[in-house]
Amino acid sequence: MTRPRYRTVGTALIFLSVAQLSTGLKCICHICTNKTCETGADGACWNSVMLIDGKEEAVKSCLTPLEMKGQVFCYSSRNVSKRNCCFTDFCNNETLHLYPAGRIQMEPGWGRLELAAVVLVPICLLCAGVLLVICAAHGRHCTHRRIRKHDVEEPLDDQSLMAPHKSLKDLIFDMSTSGSGSGLPLLVQRTIARTIILQETIGKGRFGEVWRGKWRGEDVAVKIFSSRDERSWFREAEIYQTILLRHENILGFIAADNKDNGSWTQLWLVSEYHEHGSLYDYLNRHTVSVEAMLILALSIASGLAHLHMEIVGTQGKPAIAHRDLKSKNILVKRNGTAAIADLGLAVKHDPTTNTVDIPANHRVGTKRYMAPEILDDSINMSNFELIKRADMYSLGLVFWELTRRCSVRGVYEDYQMPYYDIVPSDPSIEDMRKVVCDQRLRPNIPNQWQSCEALRVMGKIMRECWYTNSAARLTALRVKKTVSQVANVKDMKE
Ligand SMILES: Nc1ncnc2c1ncn2[C@@H]1O[C@H](COP(=O)(O)OP(=O)(O)O)[C@@H](O)[C@H]1O
Ligand SMILES: [Mg+2]
């Protein structure tokens, strides 16, 4: 209790002393009326900072020669930690501090509280720092463990991968603009697949069932393979993820997932869903106008032309042959265009070695749609051009199915499969070979097609796709151009 009072008295004494100034040097003076003072001869400007009740307080004034002689004010006292005497006009203008950061200088006689603060604060700061480092390291470890867990366990947390508001369109848009080229990241694919709710079966094919499912309220198609067809699942997923394959007339692939539930593996391929189903289903149910027929024909040819086309470059696309083109493997979209689907038997061309990417065993595909050179096994499978030409023969058959259903002035044919009138319902290779190779028969082109320009051109395209000599057949690009001319589509960019 005595110390503050003593300090105040000491300070007052200093103030009183420095107030009695004589002329000489001009100095800053806090306690003078006009804030300046003058020293007598041999006087000095005085600058000090004191710790008063825990706060720094600066005092500036003049020192008399007497005070200077004693030099008492130019030394430290108990309360004044820094003081300075100087000898030019206003040299005490600068502000002194006890410590640069305003820290309290330790002086004898400090209170226990101050001492404790000085010792404890750095120790606490040091502890906090150590704790922070430990927490940061632990946090990283936990995140790492969480990521590793996602790799091996399920269910996956899609929130960490995809914003909840994102639609399939957004995801596909992100994917096609991200530059990654081929497909969504595998974890995203898996996350999508595992959050689909299956609704109903919509189709059956070679390898299992196709379902309609819901993902975030949107319809998707899910092709489920049995575990013994793992190679087919893998192959189809691989083909769909070929760089630059994505095209409006090729079924939009979304995700592949293999989910092991302990006793068996479920293999899923997720794609865009098309409510009209296959072209086969559609033509069985509907006739089409000339315009609708041309739109379907043009989009099928565009899809096949894209599939067949090689795009050169580091991020290029290899030429791909479908090998199972038929009306059941083409889907009808809501906007009346078509998308080529079921790429499970497709093969890619490797231009550097001029080979096919997998051993192309000869007779795959659907017998009814097989080209003559496949039926009689004369095709040279190492020549990729020839594999594409076999697709063109099948395309001609699909066009025949489509054009029959075209209604002109109310006249149209019933739906029929190619060769419906000359082969049994599930024809063998031998049945087909006899008809297509030996007898050289082809589906009938009705006479009335000659009276409608669009149908006439379609008939001509078919014949030119059905040549026994595959080298003479039209290419997909040629068919696309011819159909587009008929359809008078003005914005074709070739
Ligand atoms: N994305 C889809 N939207 C609507 N229906 C589809 C879709 N994918 C397949 N389907 C239906 O399922 C059938 C079989 O599909 P597909 O891919 O050809 O399987 P598979 O390889 O077993 O032949 C098709 O003919 C079609 O009727
Ligand atoms: Mg199929």
Task: Tell me the average pLDDT across 207-220.
Answer: 93
pTM: 0.69
96-151 pLDDT, tens digit per residue, is 877 665 454 444 445 566 667 777 777 768 867 777 777 566 554 434 444 333 33
What CA–CA distance (Å, rounded) separates 340 from 279? 10
- 480 in the same domain as 369: yes
What pLDDT is recorded for position 278?
Answer: 97
What CA–CA distance (Å, rounded) separates 416 from 403? 11
Question: Residue 422 sits in which domain range?
Answer: 276-494
Q: Residue 223, annotated ligand binder? A: yes
Q: Is 486 helix (H, G, I), strand (E, B) or coil?
A: helix
Q: Which residue has the tokens 């592949």?
A: 256
CA of 366 to the centre of ligand 2 (A): 9
Which atom number of ligand 1 is nearest to the Cα of residue 203? 12
- 319 in the same domain as 266: no
CA of 203 to the centre of ligand 2 (A): 9
- Confidence category of residue 21, pLDDT binned at 50, 70, 90: very low
Please say if the pLDDT value at position 333 is more than 90.
yes
- 402 in the same domain as 295: yes
What pLDDT is recorded for position 445?
Answer: 97
What pLDDT is recorded for position 46?
Answer: 80
- Confidence category of residue 161, pLDDT binned at 50, 70, 90: low
- 454 in the same domain as 404: yes
Establish if 260 belongs to a structural domain. yes
Query: Which range is most confident: 150-154, 378-382, 447-451, 486-490?
Result: 447-451
Ligand 1, atom 16, residue with closest C-alpha: 342
Establish if 119 belongs to a structural domain. no
Comparing 372 with 21, which gets the higher pLDDT? Answer: 372
What pLDDT is recorded for position 302?
Answer: 98
- 178 in the same domain as 72: no
Least confident residue range of 48-52, 182-186, 417-421:
48-52
What pLDDT is recorded for position 155?
Answer: 44
- Confidence category of residue 462, pLDDT binned at 50, 70, 90: very high
- Paired residues of 312 in beta bridges: none
Mutate to test the pocket of ligand 1, among 207, 215, 223, 322 (most ligand atoms within 8 A of CB): 223
What pLDDT is recorded for position 404?
Answer: 98
Task: Tell me the average pLDDT across 283-296.
Answer: 97
- 280 in the same domain as 255: no
Q: Is 157 exposed, middle or buried (0-12, 13-18, 19+ CB in 10 A)?
A: exposed
CA of 404 to the centre of ligand 1 (A): 23
Ligand 1, atom 15, residue with closest C-alpha: 205
Contacts of 21 (CB under 8 A, 6+ apart): 29, 32, 37, 38, 39, 40, 43, 61, 62, 64
What pLDDT is recorded for position 109?
Answer: 47
Taking the CA of 235 as reference, the closest ligand is 1
Percent of the chain with pLDDT over 90: 51
342 is catalytic: no
Task: Assign residue 253 the CATH number of its domain.
Answer: 3.30.200.20
What pLDDT is recorded for position 74?
Answer: 57
What pLDDT is recorded for position 491?
Answer: 41
Mean pLDDT of the chain: 82
Percent of the chain with pLDDT over 70: 78
Taking the CA of 327 as reference, the closest ligand is 1
What pLDDT is recorded for position 338?
Answer: 98
Establish if 12 belongs to a structural domain. no
Task: Assign residue 288 the CATH number of its domain.
Answer: 1.10.510.10
Helix axis angle, 476-487 relative to 384-404, nearest 10°? 30
Please say if the pLDDT value at position 248 is more than 80.
yes
Ligand 1, atom 10, residue with closest C-alpha: 203
- 344 in the same domain as 237: no
Comparing 219 with 263, which gets the higher pLDDT? Answer: 219
Question: Six-digit token pair at 418?
Answer: 């190619």
What pLDDT is recorded for position 481?
Answer: 97
Task: Assign residue 50 the CATH number of its domain.
Answer: 2.10.60.10
Other C-beta atoms within 10 Å of 241: how many?
17
- 384 in the same domain as 263: no
Q: Which of 33, 64, 98 is the last residue of a domain?
A: 98
Q: Active site residue: 324, 350, 431, 438, which one?
A: 324
CA of 330 to the centre of ligand 2 (A): 8
Q: Is 454 helix (H, G, I), strand (E, B) or coil?
A: helix
Which residues have C-beta atoms less than 6 Å from ligand 1? 202-203, 205-207, 210, 221, 223, 251, 271-274, 277-278, 281, 328-329, 331, 341-342, 344
Establish if 423 belongs to a structural domain. yes
Taking the CA of 279 as reference, the closest ligand is 1
- 299 in the same domain as 226: no
Contacts of 189 (CB under 8 A, 6+ apart): 183, 254, 255, 256, 257, 270
Task: Tell me the average pLDDT across 82-104.
Answer: 75
CA of 210 to the centre of ligand 1 (A): 6
431-445 pLDDT, tens digit per residue, is 999 999 999 999 999
- 87 in the same domain as 43: yes
Contacts of 110 (CB under 8 A, 6+ apart): 104, 118
- 315 in the same domain as 267: no
What pLDDT is recorded for position 147?
Answer: 35
- 488 in the same domain as 378: yes
Q: Which of 220, 244, 273 is the last residue of a domain?
A: 273
Number of domains forming the structure of the chain: 3
Q: Which of 273, 305, 325 is the last residue of a domain?
A: 273
Ligand 1, atom 25, residue with closest C-alpha: 328
Establish if 447 belongs to a structural domain. yes
Task: Tell me the average pLDDT across 347-352.
Answer: 91
Ligand 1, atom 23, residue with closest C-alpha: 205
Mutate to test the pocket of ligand 1, among 204, 207, 210 (most ligand atoms within 8 A of CB): 210
- Contact in structure between 461 and 403 (CB atoms under 8 Å): no
Contacts of 142 (CB under 8 A, 6+ apart): none
